Amino acid sequence: MARKKPWAGRFSASTHPLVEAYTSSIAQDARLAQWDIIGSIAHAKMLGKARLISRADQQALVGGLKHLYKVAGAGRLAMDPSLEDVHMNIERMLVERAGKAGERLHTARSRNDQVALDTRLAAREGLVELCQHLLALQRAMAQVAHKHQGVPMIGRTHLQPAQAVLLSHHLLAYREKFGRDSERVLTALAAADVSPLGAGALAGTTLSTDPHYTAQLLGFDEPASNSVDAVSDRDYIADAAYASTMVLVHLSQLSEEVVLWSTEAFGYIVLPDAFSTGSSIMPQKRNPDVAELTRARAALAVGDLAGFLSLLKGLPLAYNRDLQEDKHALFRTMDFAARAAEVFAEMLPRLRFDPARLKAGFHEGFAGATDLAEFLVGQGVAFREAHATVGRLVRDLEASRKTLRDVRLAQLAKYSPHFTAAALKGLDAKHSAGRRASHGGSSHDSVTRQLDRAGAQITVQLKALRDYERKVQKARSLALK
C-alpha cells in the first residue's frame, strides 16, 4: 500500500501510479543515501545548537541517522517508490525509528537545498577518488618514460611518418595532458566546496539557523552566498563532468595509439596477457579490449556532458524538476574516468615496447628530411629554398624506390653545394630524435627537464588533494564517531 505523501495536505486526489513511476528518482539518487544521512546529521546538530529542537530530539535524530547510515552501508535500505526519492524514504525510516523527533528534522530545510548538498558531497568524494587515480596514472607514465629514455621512435602527423622523437618525449606528452586533467579535477573540487544547506526551497528561512555551522561540520569552506543560486546551481556538476570527460578524451587518444601500436602493422608494443582478452574462435588473438572500451566510454561521457549542458540552458530560476536528471553526467562520467585511469595506471608499466620497430621506417618514411632542410638553414640557406631543395631530393628518391638510407654526400652535393658530411649525421633516428634542444623539444635534456617537471607537479597536486581528502573524511566522521 502506498504511503501518504509528505506534501499530501494540499491535494484531494492521490497520485496516479504512472506518475509515481515516471517521477520517481530513487533509481538515480539511491547512491546519495549515505551522504543524505550525513547531511541530515549536520542539519540536526545545527537545529539543536540553534535551539529549534530540544537536546533530546537532537540526540534521537543523530542516533537514528547513524543507525540508518550503517544500514545504508550494508545495502539494506528498503526504498518505497511511493515516497518518490531517497530523501523522503530516509525521513520516513527515521520517523519509524525516532518517533515524533523524526518529524522535526525537515525544519528550515527543503529537498531543494538537501539534494544540492547531497550531490556536492557525492561529487567531492568522486572527484577525490578520480584525482587519486590520475596522480597514479601520471606517476606510471613518468615511470615508463624514464625507463625508455634514449629510445627513438617515428613521430607522426596525419598518421604519416613526420620526424623522429624520443619515445619518452612522446609518452610525456600524455603526462602533460593528465597533469592538466588533475588540475581540472582540483578546480572542480573547489567549485563543489560550497554548502547550499540553509537556502531552503529558494528564499532561505525566517527561522534562526546557522548555515556556517553546518558548512563547517561537513568540511565546506563556506555556505552559499545566495539562496536562489544555492538551489539552482549545477555548475559544479558541469565542472565535474567536463573534467571527467577530458580525462576520458585523453585516455581515448592514448587508447587509439595502444590499439594501433599493438597491431602487426606497427608492432610497437606487446600487450600484457593480464590486460588483454582472447577470441572464442580464433586461438591466436590478443585483443586490446581495455583500450577499445575506453574509446567507447569516452563517447558516452561526451554525450552525457552535452546532454547535461542542454538540460541546464533553458531553466528559469530557481529549482526545476529537470535537475533530477543530472546524475548520469555526474556519476557515470566520474566512474568511467576513475576506472579508466585506474586500469591504465596498472597497465602502462606492463607494456613491452619493441625499440627496433619503434624506429623502423625512419628512412622509408623520409623522417630525416626536416633535418636536412635545417642543416641547410644552418649553412645560411633561406628556409624556403632549403625546403624546396630537400623536397626535390625526396621526390627523386621516391621515384627511384630509394630511401634516405641510400643517400651519400656526393648525391647530396648535386642538390646543394652547402651540404657537407655533417648533414649525414641527421639521417640516424636516435641522433635526429635527441638533438632537438629547443624549449619543449625532443632532446635528452628536455626529457630530463620534463621528468623533473612531472615530479614537481605531482607533488603540488598531491598536497592540494590531501586537503580535499580530509574534507571528505571530516564529513564521513559525522556518522562514524
Q: Report CA-CA distances (Å) from 189 to 260, 364, 469.
A: 35, 49, 11
List, for residues 339-364, the tens digit of each pLDDT value.
Answer: 999 999 999 999 999 999 999 988 88
- Among residues 24, 40, 54, 158, the one annotated as catalytic is 158
Q: What are phi and psi of 223, to 5 degrees?
A: -80, 160
Top-level class of domain 369-434: mainly alpha
pTM (two decimals) = 0.93
Beta bridge partners of 222: 194
> Looking at the domain that runs over 116-148+165-206+221-357+451-480, which CATH code has it been given?
1.20.200.10
How many angstroms separate the CA atoms of 224 and 405, rounded?
67
pLDDT-based confidence at 435, cuts 50/70/90?
Answer: confident
**Is the Cα dihedral 426, 427, 429, 431 positive or negative?**
negative
List, for residues 208-220, the tens digit of each pLDDT value.
Answer: 999 999 999 999 9
Q: Quote the cell numbers at residue 405.
A: 638510407
Q: Quote the cell numbers at residue 459.
A: 607533488
Q: Does residue 279 carry a catalytic annotation?
A: yes
pLDDT-based confidence at 11, cuts 50/70/90?
Answer: low
- Average pLDDT for 60-66: 98
DSSP string, 422-449: GGGGGGSHHHHHHB--STT-SBHHHHHH
List, for residues 68-97, the tens digit of each pLDDT value.
Answer: 999 999 989 988 888 888 999 999 999 999
116-148+165-206+221-357+451-480 and 369-434 in the same fold: no
Q: In this predicted model, which residue has the larger pLDDT, 13 or 254?
A: 254
How many angstroms separate the CA atoms of 9 and 11, rounded?
6
DSSP string, 12-78: SSPPPHHHHHHH--HHHHGGGHHHHHHHHHHHHHHHHHTTSS-HHHHHHHHHHHHHHHHHHHTT---
Mean pLDDT value across the chain: 93
φ/ψ bin of 200: left (φ > 0), alpha (ψ from -120 to 50), beta (otherwise): left
Residue 53, Cβ neighbours under 10 Å: how many?
A: 20
Strand ranges (DSSP E) for 112-244?
152-157, 160-166, 194-195, 222-223
> Looking at the domain that runs over 16-107, which CATH code has it been given?
1.10.275.10
List, for residues 127-144, the tens digit of each pLDDT value.
Answer: 999 999 999 999 999 999
Domain coordinates of the chain in residue numbers?
16-107, 116-148+165-206+221-357+451-480, 369-434
Judged against a pLDDT cut of 60, whether residue 1 lies above it is answered with: no
Q: Report CA-CA distances (Å) from 466 to 113, 129, 335, 417.
A: 27, 11, 20, 62
Q: Quote the cell numbers at residue 307.
A: 546532454
Q: Does residue 439 carry a catalytic annotation?
A: no
Collect all residues with Cβ–Cβ distance below 8 Å to 437 and sequence separation of at least 6: 443, 445, 446
- Among residues 14, 54, 279, 477, the one annotated as catalytic is 279
